[in-house]
Amino acid sequence: MIGLVYGTPAEISEYLIPHPTIRKISFTGSTRVGKHLAALAGQHMKKATMELGGHAPVLIFDDADLDAAAKELAAAKFRNAGQVCIAPTRFLIQQGVYDAFVEKFTAEVNKLVVGNGLEDGVTMGPMVLGRSVDAIEAFVEDAIAAGAKLTTGGQRLAGNGNFFAPTVLRDVPLSARAMSEEPFGPVALLRPFKDYDEAIAEANRLPYGLAAYAYSRNIATVNALGRDVESGMLTINHIGFGLPETPFGGVKDSGHGTEGGSEAIEAYLETRFVTVAGR
């Protein structure tokens, strides 16, 4: 049975979480709200699964299949107009293939058709709210002011609805707000890196650790990424998230626990020990 409760979120949470009928809390949303709910759950010793915000890094190495990477990542980045917690966000590309990847990725993004998602041929719809468009516009303007270069998009689209053009920014400096704050919209941020250590340092720089992406043909690099990237999920050389049978969750400020796979059921179980002496 599912019960839907409507009203002021804070009032509902502050009533339901302490209530003795509630034994387990699962939340998907922002890190700020998630921390508040997790703290409230902790006060009442309730189990909690938190799937919170992210800022997914993408690592493209100089031995990657650039055509596959550009095509797959363009689709993943702009799915649901970028309003996806695991959307690729910070694209870190090794210097030797940086210009080539920027060109290929921009070409793939330019193939997207924005409009009413119920119409044939449309591949990207609107943003959820008007203020979401305002936020993305502010992120783009800030990045350009900081020195980023626009390769495509960058503006609202005319007409009714909350539409913003699929946007690619290259040479984005770390000082740009979007490099540290989750943009949650149709904006891809691209910047080069020199070597593996620099890429890992940037991938792990933020307190988030939900999802990460990587492309490399070098097996040593692939094995090292699984050890070094601080994220709850990492997909290499394909897009492999969100399958029902696989774990789905983050680490650090992106939360704890998983909403997928057989591991997800563990948070809903209680381990008990019973011992009986036969006499």
- Look at residue 185 and tell me if it is in a domain: yes
Q: How far is Cα 245 from Cα 126, in angstroms, rounded to an integer? A: 30
Q: Tell me, what DSSP letter sits at residue 255?
A: E
The answer to whether 51 is a known catalytic residue is yes
- Look at residue 67 and tell me if it is in a domain: yes
The total of structural domains in the chain comes to: 2
- Look at residue 10 and tell me if it is in a domain: yes
The answer to whether 85 is a known catalytic residue is yes
Q: What is the pLDDT of residues 146-187, one digit of tens each?
A: 999 999 999 999 888 999 999 999 999 999 999 999 999 999
CATH of the domain at 99: 3.40.309.10
Q: Which residues of 117-154 are buried (b: 16+ CB within 10 A; e: fewer)?
A: eeeeeeebbbbeeeebbebbbebbebbeebebeebbbb
Per-residue model confidence (pLDDT) at position 279: 79
Pair of tokens at residue 47: 């189990």
Whether residue 109 is found in the same domain as residue 167: yes
Whether residue 128 is found in the same domain as residue 7: no
In 3D, which of 58, 62, 55 has the Cα closest to residue 73?
58
SS3 category, 44: coil
* Parent domain of 68: 56-236
**With a cut of 50, which residues of the chain have pLDDT below it?**
none
Tell me which of 72, 85, 108, 230 is the catalytic residue. Answer: 85
Per-residue model confidence (pLDDT) at position 278: 87
Per-residue model confidence (pLDDT) at position 158: 86
Query: H helices of the chain, where?
Result: 9-16, 31-43, 66-77, 98-109, 130-146, 196-203, 219-228
- Look at residue 154 and tell me if it is in a domain: yes
- Look at residue 129 and tell me if it is in a domain: yes
Tell me which of 11, 14, 51, 108 is the catalytic residue. Answer: 51
Per-residue model confidence (pLDDT) at position 70: 98
Pair 104, 67: CB distance under 8 Å: yes
In 3D, which of 166, 68, 62 has the Cα closest to residue 112?
166
Per-residue model confidence (pLDDT) at position 159: 81
Whether residue 146 is found in the same domain as residue 96: yes
